[in-house]
Amino acid sequence: MTTNVLLETRKMGVSFGGVHAVKEVDFTLREGELRCLIGPNGAGKSTFFKMLSGQVTPTRGECRYREQVISGKRPWEIARLGIGIKTQVPSVFEGLSVRENLWQAAANKLAKAALPAAIEQVLGDIGLVDLQHAVLSELAHGQRQWVELGMILISKPQLVLLDEPAAGMTHQEVRKTAQLIKAINQQSTVVVVEHDMEFISMIAQQVTVFNQGAVLAEGSFREVTQNPLVKEAYLGNLEIKHA
């Protein structure tokens, strides 16, 4: 593949006291990818994600984004480099409407004259045109998640990091979220941590499987789900549907 490397970790890891949550991970992400991180509970996916997003500081190794060392930077410094982050805790403004949330997200990134058209576009993308004046606290869980994805979409980050974007969603909501993430991937490189294998099957291109703080396998969805080591460590007898 000739595409440029966007983000790279070298022997990056972190320990909490005696717990080696992530050991020494080498990970390479190329421009335009949609990479899924999967693995059993406690495998280190979330901690790895948090090191990419600046929520956790690595105790060894480093992470480079566009060849600049970003490990040790704070989340807001990382966001400033053009990285959009959706953590498990939603960062929306509860008292503001859908439209106002999108406005807030875009205000510092787009020219004022470009804002209305960008907001219309994203309201359509997230399917909330009819609810644009509803206050966030009145929305259903899935709708609030879409607003947050819309807030990422409108600021057009180069890299988007999503931690369990489909958590707690109904089947229908999961399908819509998958479409939305594919739309985000049309303009941004994306990393997704997720448990829901059905959701992963809808969006996956390259998949990295974590186990016991290390990368167990990497490859296409089909490759990793047919890998005996992945079956043993994670999937067990789970029936996987291939598109």
Q: Which of 13, 39, 150, 157 binds ligand ATP (CB under 6 A)?
A: 39
Which of the 8 DSSP states describes residue 196? -
Grouping H, G, I as helix, E, B as strand and the rest as coil, residue 8 is: strand
Q: Which of 3, 11, 16, 116 binds ligand ATP (CB under 6 A)?
A: 16
Q: Exposed, middle or buried: residue 136 (CB in 10 Å: 0-12, 13-18, 19+)?
A: buried
Q: Which of 2, 41, 68, 186 binds ligand ATP (CB under 6 A)?
A: 41
Closer CB to ligand ATP, 86 or 176, in the complex: 86
Closer CB to ligand ATP, 101 or 208, in the complex: 208
Q: Do you know the residue count of the chain?
A: 243
Handedness of CA 225, 64, 91, 212 (dihedral sign): positive
Angle at the Cα of 145 from the Cα atoms of 42 and 58, rounded to 5 degrees: 35
Grouping H, G, I as helix, E, B as strand and the rest as coil, residue 217 is: strand
Q: Which of 4, 19, 57, 117 binds ligand ATP (CB under 6 A)?
A: 19
Q: How many CB atoms lie within 10 A of CB 30?
A: 16
Closer CB to ligand ATP, 14 or 153, in the complex: 14
Contact track, ligand ATP, 204-233, x by CB under 6 A = ------x-----------------------
Q: Which of 46, 101, 145, 188 binds ligand ATP (CB under 6 A)?
A: 46
- Closest distance of CB 19 from ligand ATP, Å: 5
Q: Exposed, middle or buried: residue 172 (CB in 10 Å: 0-12, 13-18, 19+)?
A: exposed
Under the binding rule (CB under 6 A), the answer on residue 45 touching ligand ATP is yes
Taking contact as CB under 6 A, which single stretch among the options 36-44, 77-85, 115-123, 181-189 is the one that binds ligand ATP?
36-44
Taking contact as CB under 6 A, which single stretch among the options 41-49, 96-104, 130-138, 168-176 is the one that binds ligand ATP?
41-49
Q: Which of 5, 8, 42, 121 binds ligand ATP (CB under 6 A)?
A: 42
Under the binding rule (CB under 6 A), the answer on residue 43 touching ligand ATP is yes
- Closest distance of CB 116 from ligand ATP, Å: 39
Dist. CA 74–CA 55, nearest whole Å: 7
Q: Nearest-CA neighbor of 178 among 201, 206, 150?
A: 201
Helices 141-154/98-107 angle, 10° precision? 30
Count of residues interacting with ligand ATP (CB under 6 A): 12
What is the identity of the amino acid at 136?
L
Tokens representing 55 are 């929520």
Applying CB under 6 A, the residues found at the interface with ligand ATP are 16, 19, 21, 39, 41-47, 210
